[in-house]
Amino acid sequence: MTTREQILEAVLKNQPESMPLPDIGMFKGGDDDTVRKYIDIFKTIGGAAYLVDDLEVVKSMVAEQFDTTKRIATTLPEMQDIAELIAPAIDPHLYEDVELAIIRGHFSVAENGAVWLTEEVMGQRIIPYICQHLAVVLTAESIVPTLHEAYERIGLGDYGFGGFIGGPSKTADIEQALVLGAHGPLTMTVYIIR
Amino acid sequence: MKQTETKDHAGLAEDFIKDEERVNWHDGALWYIREKRDIASKQIPEWEALREAASQIKNNVISNLHDYLLQFEANLTKNGVKVHWANNADEHNAIVYSILKAKGITEMVKSKSMLTEECHLNEYLEERGIGVINSDLGEYIQQLDNEPPSHIVLPCIHKRKEEIGELFHEHLGTEKGLSDPTLLTRVARKHLRNVFLTRRGALTGVNFAVAETGEYVVCTNEGNADMGAHLSEVQIASMGLEKIIPQKKHLSVFLRLLARSATGQPITIYSSHYKKPREGQEMHLILVDAGRTRQLGRTDFRNSLKCIKCGGCMNTCPVYRKSGGLSYHNTISGPIGAILAPNLDMKKHADLPYASTLCGSCSNVCPVKINIHEQLYKWRQVIVKEGYAANTKALGMKAMAWTLASPEKFSTAGKAGRWFLHNIPFVVNNKFNPWYKQREMPEGPKESFAEWYAKNEK
Ligand code: SF4
């Protein structure tokens, strides 16, 4: 008998009588101001979020908030004059020195500040993790109240990789002192287009 | 690894509590996290309903595990992920070794995985010429010190920053006396970035594995799992059989509960959904039994397999807070460790179910509603029946004694009531806790760890 067969047989023998799945359809968020709530929560987890009119405003804010003499990478064609476009098929190690990445987010979640991203908007999977600073652009109407609405939107999803990112990377492993910028970005900024 | 296995929990705890200042700090820091969990959970009006839903989903998982495993395996294969099965630690380690060897990989980076700690994977690979670096900061620190993690979420919570500074000085050449957490973290960031960029092989643990889609979710705050995985040629995930959840939408329930129960955060910074290898990459997933099917067959203990490893039961446990995770001499420490370990080796871990006051606080915070304290009580009966209970009665008394020792320590920090709240966190009116029977517990005034710390540090 293979290991696989041994394990499956032991599971079948030892598992108890089937218990039903609960209905989780009643879980949903309230109808409070999701944009306001999102911005407030995102600040408490160490991020910065701004409500803006359009991508032109984003561009000028980026110029003010970041060092544009360093390498900036993006998947947004509109940002091409201040950033290089990310090439999906090259060696990911080549993005080692990206200072700022500007990418589109599919949507974000008001209750926890997290933005949903798939590799399609990342350009390369490594981008939102390897950059020193991460900026995400999304629309106000895309913000959902809770993770329940979030997974409804994601559905089964036909991505190879996707992730929620909710703020700058952090650690409190040394004496519970909060430090922003563990291995991933030191800061995360979300621009919400009205 | 440093040897901690010659003494039982009581003996190891005696060593830990010798350093009174450390114990008070440890106790207070964990209680502070427990309070953050309370604040986070109270912001969700449907919190109790979520716990109930999570518990029921997990009941469904453990009662249909056979079919979910087959479904998960089929979907992984469809997604281009190679699936492996391992009965035990040795088989698991051999699989990892063969995957790396086939690719000529001699160095691997690993994100947090209690399963591979339990399997002693690092030692196994190192004996065969493959270097492994743990990339979670806490685990990295523990690796430098050649010690296992003392907490599943906060691996080096028992260490003071000066000790960490000393380790960095010794191993990374930092200036002597450096102990600022931000500066130390920056040093590790720089050092580990180089590791991520040069490792061709990366291994991660798994938080949730979705049968319906064949994807698995890894949660971190540091971003270390993603840094390793997305730069690797070969990505390996190791998971215990029980990590399965039936459907994608169930992630909403578990991700809402996990970080809030663990640290009081609304969600971990990164919740990464791995489904298919990227172009040119290999992805492997190893399904590990290592005692889980046996636990599944133990009617009284099988629902310990519902655990989502949030660490909440440790943070609230008065015995854990005062004895430290290493005193449990098992990879998973604290109340949940004490009900998982006897399944692995009843003789060696016969002392652990006695490292409890049975106050019930663990069961009250558990996001998947495991009846932890009842299982601790039941393990004691089994251990007595099987003849492993040499001096266990004395052990139970000791756990109670540390918990209740020297209330004057806290009288400086507030009224006696707070002392009770802190030491007997819930005091469920349960039949297991003999101490409770005659006493009414006063409601304690709350004082945050920050306030307590400020007052006591001066
Ligand atoms: S037993 Fe419950 S509280 Fe303890 S770590 Fe597991 S899920 Fe968390």
| Beta bridge mates, A52 | A193
Kindly state whether residues B124 and B74 are assigned to the same domain.
Answer: yes
Kindly state whether residues B111 and B132 are assigned to the same domain.
Answer: yes
- Residue A135 φ then ψ, to 5°: -125, 130
Kindly state whether residues B343 and B206 are assigned to the same domain.
Answer: no
Task: Give Cβ neighbours of residue B139 (< 8 Å, ≥ 6 apart).
Answer: B112, B149, B155, B156
Q: Mind listing the pLDDT tens digit of every residue in chain B (458 residues)?
A: 565 457 889 889 888 888 888 999 999 999 999 999 999 999 999 999 999 999 999 999 999 999 999 999 999 999 999 999 999 999 999 999 999 999 999 999 999 999 999 999 999 999 999 999 999 999 999 999 999 999 999 999 999 999 999 999 999 999 999 999 999 999 999 999 999 999 999 999 999 999 999 999 999 999 999 999 999 999 999 999 999 999 999 999 999 999 999 999 999 999 999 999 999 999 999 999 999 999 999 999 999 999 999 999 999 999 999 999 999 999 999 999 999 999 999 999 999 999 998 989 999 999 999 999 999 999 999 998 888 876 666 676 677 676 666 444 444 444 455 566 677 676 545 566 554 444 444 444 444 444 444 554 43
| Domain's final residue, options B268, B293, B318 | B293
Kindly state whether residues B144 and B256 are assigned to the same domain.
Answer: yes
Kindly state whether residues B352 and B421 are assigned to the same domain.
Answer: no
| Beta bridge mates, B271 | A164, B219
Residue B267 lies in a domain: yes
Q: Do B249 and A24 make contact, defined as CB atoms within 8 angstroms?
A: yes
Residue B8 lies in a domain: no
Question: Is any Cβ of chain B less than 8 angstroms from the Cβ of A87?
Answer: no
Task: Identify the CATH homologous superfamily for domain A33-193.
Answer: NagB/RpiA/CoA transferase-like (3.40.50.10420)
Kindly state whether residues B99 and B45 are assigned to the same domain.
Answer: yes
Kindly state whether residues B252 and B145 are assigned to the same domain.
Answer: yes
A10-27 tens-digit pLDDT? 999 999 999 999 999 999
Which CATH number is B105's domain given? Answer: 3.40.50.10420
* Residues contacting ligand 1 via CB (< 6 Å): B 261, 307-313, 336, 365-368, 370, 372
Kindly state whether residues B266 and B177 are assigned to the same domain.
Answer: yes
Angle A137-B137-B355 from CA coordinates, rounded to 5°: 120
Question: Is any Cβ of chain B less than 8 angstroms from the Cβ of A171?
Answer: yes
Kindly state whether residues B363 and B281 are assigned to the same domain.
Answer: no
Kindly state whether residues B231 and B331 are assigned to the same domain.
Answer: no
Residue B215 backbone class (left: φ over 0; alpha: ψ -120 to 50; beta: rest) = beta
Kindly state whether residues B325 and B358 are assigned to the same domain.
Answer: yes
Residue extents of the structural domains in chain A? 33-193
Kindly state whether residues B113 and B58 are assigned to the same domain.
Answer: yes
Q: How much is the ipTM here?
A: 0.98
What is the secondary structure of B165-225 as a DSSP string?
HHHHHHHH-PPTT---HHHHHHHHHHHHHHHHHH-SEEEE--SEEETTTTEEEEEESS-HH
| Domain's final residue, options B247, B268, B293 | B293
**Mean pLDDT (whole number) for A131-155:** 98
Task: Give Cβ neighbours of residue B200 (< 8 Å, ≥ 6 apart).
Answer: B103, B105, B107, B232, B233, B234
Residue B394 lies in a domain: no
Chain B interface test: which of A180, A183, A190 (most B C-beta within 10 Å) = A183
What is the number of structural domains in chain B?
3
Q: Do A13 and B57 make contact, defined as CB atoms within 8 angstroms?
A: no
Q: Do B269 and A166 make contact, defined as CB atoms within 8 angstroms?
A: yes
Measured by CA distance, the residue closest to atom 4 of ligand 1 is: B313
Residue B268 near residue B346 (C-beta atoms within 8 A): no
Q: Do B269 and A177 make contact, defined as CB atoms within 8 angstroms?
A: no
Residue B7 lies in a domain: no
Residue B115 lies in a domain: yes
- Give residue B458's pLDDT: 37
Q: Do A179 and B52 make contact, defined as CB atoms within 8 angstroms?
A: no
Chains A–B, number of C-beta pairs less than 8 Å apart: 247
Residue A193 backbone class (left: φ over 0; alpha: ψ -120 to 50; beta: rest) = beta
Range of the domain at B331: 301-385
How far, in Å, CA of B250 to CA of B51, rounded?
12
Minimal CA separation from B431 to chain A, in Å: 27
* Predicted structure pTM score: 0.92
Q: Which residues of B touch A10 (CB under 8 A)?
A: 289, 293-294, 296-297
